[in-house]
Structure 1
């Protein structure tokens, strides 16, 4: 392909056709104002004139990291007016704390801002090109990634679950883009940070890739071909994993979510153990662990002593083991689920459906809602013809607690025999870390209900009688 012999609008049209979006959908361009996104914006303006069946939007994200950021906003607004395309300027705050990658944090903030302006079925266009693909492949090699990482960027792929992301320039080199922009006399901005080689991508772009190209002029094209081949292989792996993975996943009987059956996983060959576990991690939305991290995880989950307390943290993922199952959760959400108090008394005067025996009538105040944590609330209400706790007597103080002595004797309404509390937790399959989050209802010093699990048999409401229903939402 000659340097300038390509049509941007035609490349956009091919991307839209490949994305199979519906009329009325919005084509959103991530518009930085750099030469590549400038060229794409100009082409989108031409395409929009021929295709009024779609909506269009340029999104420029103001990161606040450069002293020139305000001037870039002015440039982008002026150019958008020239292309006759609407533009949205979004100002974001980039996390710049210790041990954080400014590149990664800026990218996360940018995509979060763009997603907030998109609806289901919309198409996001980005200006990634052939040399960006080579950089991505080299970074994947540097990080020791497998076929998924080496497959780099796809020309068209699912974005944010219900949207599509397209890269019309992915087969076009940086030199071709710069030459095309020059032939059209396009004005564009130059981000001074692109010259700072402390950033990995800039180091590759400024120091490494020019040397590679001087030795092997077609390396960007051949690396892109390798990425495509890795992508093909990874799609086959993903398909096979998606077919096999469901037989290893079990729904948590009490509580919510799923777990991974480690007995079945341990019966697989090592390579399949790694693929299936990584597939489960990605299904739950966590970043996949590295090869070394995955080996350590599997070794501890599958080979540690049965009573070992396994709790591993990788990024935002918390991995625990209980009853031959792997429990995966978000560290952030786990912290938010921590109860805010160890115990509290309930104002019995506000309990719903209190029986006023002296007057032989019912009193029904509002439903009680007690905040347990950032994400959980205890609801107390009355119910009829359901398994409920009998109404408290006048001399019974009602309290909510989150721990009790393991030797506490209980006789659940749904069990034939009474057992110690610690044995019941095991029978019900409640992991140790969840036990301190289960609201325990006490009448005076008597445990009468483990919310969501059982009611003490002697405190169960008589059939046809109204009682108290405790729920966690």
Structure 2
């Protein structure tokens, strides 16, 4: 086994993926840092040994070991000393990250440790850097078995990729993914590589350890090649999942609509698809918005309530990170910190802490709103879109979150004005959102309902510059 070649092969595969990206997250031309998640166990130890050799012949990479000190073992400090000593022998830098794993009833220590470990690794990465882990073929088998236990579909069964995104902003490579545990242990013996043994690896109360200690040895005794065949199955699932995602992305715009600042699902259009496509489109829409996709049972319940309930039924479905609401045949997906939050009368009539908003702030950093959103503006000339005129030097700029329903408004897209309450109904804006729309005023007079309209009287002249407002 030639670990230098395996690292080079993974980097070559990454280069090919970058070349195929329309907007790559990093430039393949820039020097980058190659960061190894280094526990000091046999898997990461042989990869660190190989990385030391790789670094000597690849000066365009800065190779770094990162060891995370969880503090869960009495041996944690000794492991730090081991990792620093070994790193010195490989002529590699070794950064130690100290983290705290919070332990509480009904909270998985395994999951918490993994979460803080990856946060620590993320802190080491800049946009152009690459994370490397020592996952191998048996780890892949464990991941597939855990996915089956959890009832996951093709995406979960895809398990781990040799090259894949990490936290959406970075790339992760796994050079040892096609190597068996036996090959890794043989390499360590051949090169007299000293490594640590984490005593928690022998505690079968953890699911992975139960599989590793009790189940996988029996499977391999019966079917010696099961780790390799499971890995091939995972690759096939990944291939099928990529096709599903491509087709889902093509169809999503058919059932999506932008209403103000919300990307909603149009339920009448979603109902025209088969049950299978309804499920895929729901999951795709939620993932696109940054929410965790629902389980099979949750997905069926969500679709049943959204599509089969009476037209005037009040639907509110709450998941771990999202609240789903239905209004006028549209489904809204709202982050839980705001998903079911009703705005109080006090909040509705509040202004920003600074009544006078600086135009410079709007054009640079933006203005933070009580809703958690940020309002910013660009000063541009564009005859194809409605722009807000610049405030006069004498005009005070402010924001409120509600006006009297009888307030007369004249949106730029209407030939006549109408009462604010009627406009919200016309635009089919859900009641729970009406008190959250930033209303921009000049000298107390409404000039724009941000995300919805600009008052006709406040439009910039087509030949002059104006403000394009953005709410994010």
1:361 aligns with: none
Unaligned runs of 5+ in 2: 16-27, 378-386, 462-466
Going from structure 1 to structure 2, the CA distance change for 1:335 and 1:117 (only over 3 Å counts) comes to farther
Any conservation in 1 of the 2:70–2:101 contact (CA below 8 Å)? Answer: yes
Shift of 1:152: 0.8
**TM-score, length-scaled by structure 1:** 0.80
Q: How does 1:451-462 map to 2 (within 5 A)?
A: 451-452=449-450
Any conservation in 2 of the 1:388–1:455 contact (CA below 8 Å)? Answer: no
Q: Give 3-state SS (helix, strand or coil) of 1:263's partner.
A: helix
CA distance in 1, matches of 2:156, 2:357: 57
1:258 aligns with: 263
From 122, 144, 147, give the equivalent of 2:151. Answer: 144
Q: Give 3-state SS (helix, strand or coil) of 1:202's partner.
A: helix
Any conservation in 1 of the 2:322–2:339 contact (CA below 8 Å)? Answer: no
Shift of 1:44: 0.5
Shift of 1:222: 1.4
CA distance in 2, matches of 1:114, 1:213: 33
Going from structure 1 to structure 2, the CA distance change for 1:400 and 1:125 (only over 3 Å counts) comes to closer
**TM-score, length-scaled by structure 2:** 0.80
Q: Give 3-state SS (helix, strand or coil) of 2:292's partner.
A: coil
Q: How does 1:34-433 map to 2 (within 5 A)?
A: 34-252=41-259, 254=260, 256-332=261-337, 334=339, 341-344=347-350, 372-373=369-370, 375-376=372-373, 402=401, 408=406, 410-412=408-410, 415=414, 421-433=420-432
CA distance in 2, matches of 1:442, 1:98: 50
CA distance in 2, matches of 1:144, 1:387: 55
How many residues align structurally?
Answer: 440
Unaligned runs of 5+ in 1: 1-5, 354-363
Shift of 1:439: 5.0
Going from structure 1 to structure 2, the CA distance change for 1:155 and 1:58 (only over 3 Å counts) comes to same
Any conservation in 2 of the 1:343–1:400 contact (CA below 8 Å)? Answer: no
CA distance in 2, matches of 1:462, 1:235: 45
Shift of 1:183: 2.1
CA distance in 2, matches of 1:212, 1:75: 34
Any conservation in 1 of the 2:324–2:339 contact (CA below 8 Å)? Answer: no
Going from structure 1 to structure 2, the CA distance change for 1:198 and 1:169 (only over 3 Å counts) comes to same
More deviation, 87-96/414-423:
414-423
Q: Give 3-state SS (helix, strand or coil) of 2:96's partner.
A: strand
Any conservation in 2 of the 1:137–1:152 contact (CA below 8 Å)? Answer: yes
Shift of 1:409: 6.2
Any conservation in 1 of the 2:388–2:454 contact (CA below 8 Å)? Answer: no
Going from structure 1 to structure 2, the CA distance change for 1:379 and 1:216 (only over 3 Å counts) comes to closer
Shift of 1:387: 6.5
CA distance in 2, matches of 1:462, 1:113: 49
Q: Which structure has the bigger radius of gyration? A: 1
2:5 aligns with: 10
Shift of 1:97: 3.4
Any conservation in 2 of the 1:389–1:461 contact (CA below 8 Å)? Answer: no
Q: Deviations over 1:371-409 (max 9, x none)?
A: 6426247899xxxx956999999xxxx997655776x46
CA distance in 2, matches of 1:32, 1:14: 23
Q: Give 3-state SS (helix, strand or coil) of 2:347's partner.
A: coil
Any conservation in 1 of the 2:352–2:400 contact (CA below 8 Å)? Answer: no
CA distance in 1, matches of 2:276, 2:81: 53
CA distance in 2, matches of 1:329, 1:152: 29
| Cα RMSD for the two superposed structures | 3.9
Shift of 1:8: 1.5
1:29 aligns with: 36
CA distance in 2, matches of 1:46, 1:300: 58
Any conservation in 2 of the 1:451–1:472 contact (CA below 8 Å)? Answer: no
Any conservation in 1 of the 2:349–2:403 contact (CA below 8 Å)? Answer: no
CA distance in 2, matches of 1:119, 1:238: 28
Q: Deviations over 1:57-109 (max 9, x none)?
A: 11111222222222211111111111111121112233433433222222222
CA distance in 2, matches of 1:463, 1:316: 40
CA distance in 1, matches of 2:67, 2:193: 18
Shift of 1:436: 2.2
Q: Deviations over 1:219-269 (max 9, x none)?
A: 1111112111111211221222122222322222x2x24222222111011
CA distance in 2, matches of 1:164, 1:184: 30
CA distance in 1, matches of 2:159, 2:206: 19
Q: Give 3-state SS (helix, strand or coil) of 2:311's partner.
A: coil
Q: Deviations over 1:263-296 (max 9, x none)?
A: 2111011111111111122222222211111111
